[in-house]
Amino acid sequence: MKNHPIALYIDLLFCLVIMPLAIRLLPVDRWIATNTAFLLTLVAYVYVLYFVYRLARLPKLFMQKKYLQIVLLLGILAGVTELLTYFPMPAERITDNIRQVEARMHIRTQTIWFFFLIVTGFSLAIELTFELFRQILSRQEVEAEKNKAELALYKAQINPHFLFNTLNTLYALVLSGSDKTESAFVKFSGILRYMYSQSSSEFIPAEQEVDYIRQYVDLQKLRLNHHTQVELTTEISNGQVPIPPMILITFVENAFKYGSSADTDCTIRLLIQADEKLFLFQTENAIMNIPKEKGHGIGIANCRKRLELLYPGRYTLQTDEADGIYRVKLEIRIKEE
């Protein structure tokens, strides 16, 4: 919290409010007249002591296990405080009764040590609070950097996964000699431009993601025959709602991978809704191809991790299978309540 305005306000509070009020507890009027040098020295010492503590930052030294430095500093400050108790009395006061002199010296000693303890306690309390805030902010920065790195990793894993599946589609069209091959490559190049133009974006407008899904669906339709019907429904009241790029593609891919057939009638249904508060995505498809392995690989796992990092506690992702129908439902609360 170096050079933070709050630290400056605390210092001003101590120097201009707390210490003047504490000094008023002393017999200031009498000491100004009879013991001016001691009073000025005491006031100067109190302020110097405070800023020594603030500059030394004892809690930080303690966290760094620099115990010897702490002991040396406290020893030096205690020694200086003890020396201040021997500040000479004015010559005219020494002529007083010896008991009166001893009483005044005792009061001065108590006053000096009282201010030492007050300044020490206040300074350490303030610096300990600041150090706790520093630790919290440091952990938050580390966590933010970690989350950013993890998001970059998950996005990097999604892109090759998508490319592999899409290239398989193009390869099948080429092998079959389909007249749709040229159109498929045009759509594929558009999808690639989207992927790499948004590779560094954490959020994009929902309408861009929907357009990307629509291009992907059109690309898949080129390889499908009349047995597989695709229904894509979009209800976007606000196309500028921010969502993570390529957050939906895994579920769309799976719907086509496991829900399409070349010889049996089937339907793949996709629904996307978005407004200022809620983003909803649903898929529904008959299971026409049984996965060889349980689950759908890293795609869905990565999607869950991205959602957890970006929307902790603000999303629900449900997948279920019943009567040969596989369903996915993703809800994201755009704004925190």
Residue 296 lies in a domain: yes
pLDDT tens digits for range 180-191: 788 888 888 887
pLDDT the model gives residue 279: 93
Residue 171 lies in a domain: no
Residues 214, 310 within the same domain: yes
How many distinct structural domains can be found in the chain? 2
Residues 201, 273 within the same domain: yes
Q: Are 108 and 92 in contact (CB under 8 A)?
A: no
Residue 199 lies in a domain: yes
Residue 149 lies in a domain: no
pLDDT tens digits for range 214-248: 988 988 888 788 899 999 999 999 888 888 888 88
SS3 of 325, please?
A: strand
Q: Which of 141, 170, 190 is the last residue of a domain?
A: 141
Say how far apart CA 59 and CA 66 lie, in whole Å. Answer: 10
Q: Which domain holds residue 297?
A: 178-333
Q: Which of 87, 120, 141 is the last residue of a domain?
A: 141
Tell whether the model's pLDDT for residue 2 goes beyond 70.
no
Per-residue buried b or exposed e for 185-215, using 16+ beta carbons within 10 Å of the residue's own CB? eebbebbeebbeebeeeeebbbbbbbebbeb
Amino acid in position 18: I
| Residue 293 belongs to domain with CATH number | 3.30.565.10
Say how far apart CA 85 and CA 311 lie, in whole Å. Answer: 62
Residues 106, 226 within the same domain: no
Least confident of 63-67, 75-79, 107-111, 296-300: 296-300
Torsion of CA 170, 173, 175, 176, to 10 degrees: 170
